[in-house]
Amino acid sequence: MPKNMKNCNPKPRNLFIKSLSISLFSFLILSSAYSCSSDSSSDDIEIDEDSGSDDGDTGSTGDTGDTEINITSILSKFDGTGLSYEISGDNVIFTSSDLPNHTSPYWPEDNDLHSDYTGVNPDWRQNPNEIAEQNIVFTIPLSPAEATDHESTPLGAMGIARNGIPFFNQYAGPDQPLTDEINSFDQWLGHPTGTSIYHYHIEPTYLTQEYGEDAFLGLLSDGFPVYGPVENGEEITNDDLDEYHGHVSATADFPNGIYHYHITSNDPYINGNGYFGTPGNTTF
């Protein structure tokens, strides 16, 4: 499997990104020229400046293109309440307030996103916890690579969904399966801990409804991407994946191929027997 990754040549993608940046830049010049000739305003100029600085970011990440895999291109898909990220050296640093951008019975009653349970689990029972703002900082490598020692995932955050909510692993506690805990998952299949940390152990159905069952859903802390349960129109099962719950193939975001995890509908759901790569740090 890793041999496939080593065969990927990132250069064509870098050239593509560069030419895309150039054509985007040309387009901005042309469109700004056009808008100046039709109706010039200071708003137009501000928009051009913002776009220019975005181009600069893309250029600087291209400079790290010596490595075989780089996930910088996918960072723009992260979008959530109180979620931001910055690139620092070889890492991306996400800061998340862990506030889900969707309804839940776990929101305090006075929050606009508070709702009754609208899911389909007849055994649903709400746990006594509530969603509350956190300050979670994930430091994740931008150039993930296979580790020689595959670390176990921790209890607690093992990655970050594209809306800033942490992914937790397949255990409710040390060696405790999720069996009972599943009944406290809300209609989007998340729930909060006793310390109000809202998280997903299984498919975050708000995100797959929003972006598709085959979409990019987030990153584990080792920098490898997490995808939904469908690929090329076919449902992925645990049997399609290695012991870490991933495989190498092309994805819409990484057409040259990349190791990635899939969320499946059966235990262990997101990750199997540890990280494929080397995880960065997460602090609360």
φ, ψ for residue 226, nearest 5 deg: -115, 130
Q: Which single residue brings its beta carbon nearest to Zn ion? A: 231
- In whole angstroms, the minimum distance from the beta carbon of 245 to Zn ion comes to 11
Query: Which one, 75 or 178, has the nearer CB to Zn ion?
Result: 178
Q: Is 249 an interacting residue with respect to Zn ion (CB under 5 A)?
A: yes
Nearest CA to 252 among 112, 108, 77, 80? 77
Beta carbon of residue 214, minimum distance to Zn ion (angstroms, whole number): 9
Q: Is residue 145 within 8 Å of residue 259, measured between CB atoms?
A: no
Residues in contact with Zn ion, counted by CB under 5 A, come to a total of: 2
We find the least distance from the C-beta atom of residue 180 to Zn ion, in angstroms, to be 11
Q: How far is the CB of 92 from Zn ion (least distance, A)?
A: 22
Q: How far from chain centre, in Å, is Cα 121?
A: 26
Q: Which is nearer to Zn ion, 98 or 231 (CB)?
A: 231
CA distance 208 to 228: 7
Cβ proximity to Zn ion: between 61 and 200 the closer is 200
- Residue spans of alpha helices (H) in 63-212: 205-211
Provide, rounded to whole angstroms, the least separation between the CB of residue 220 and Zn ion: 14
Query: Smallest gap, in angstroms, from Cβ of residue 227 to Zn ion?
Result: 6
Candidate segments 47-55, 126-134, 246-254, 272-280, binder of Zn ion by CB under 5 A: 246-254
Helix/strand/coil percentages in the chain, nearest 5: 25, 25, 50
Number of residues in the chain: 284
CB 70 within 8 A of CB 13: no
Residue closer to Zn ion (CB basis): 61 or 185? 185
Report if residue 231 touches Zn ion, rule: CB under 5 A.
yes
- ∠73-78-81 over CA atoms, to 5°? 160
Q: Closer to Zn ion at the Cβ: 196 or 249?
A: 249
By the criterion CB under 5 A, which residues form the site for Zn ion? 231, 249
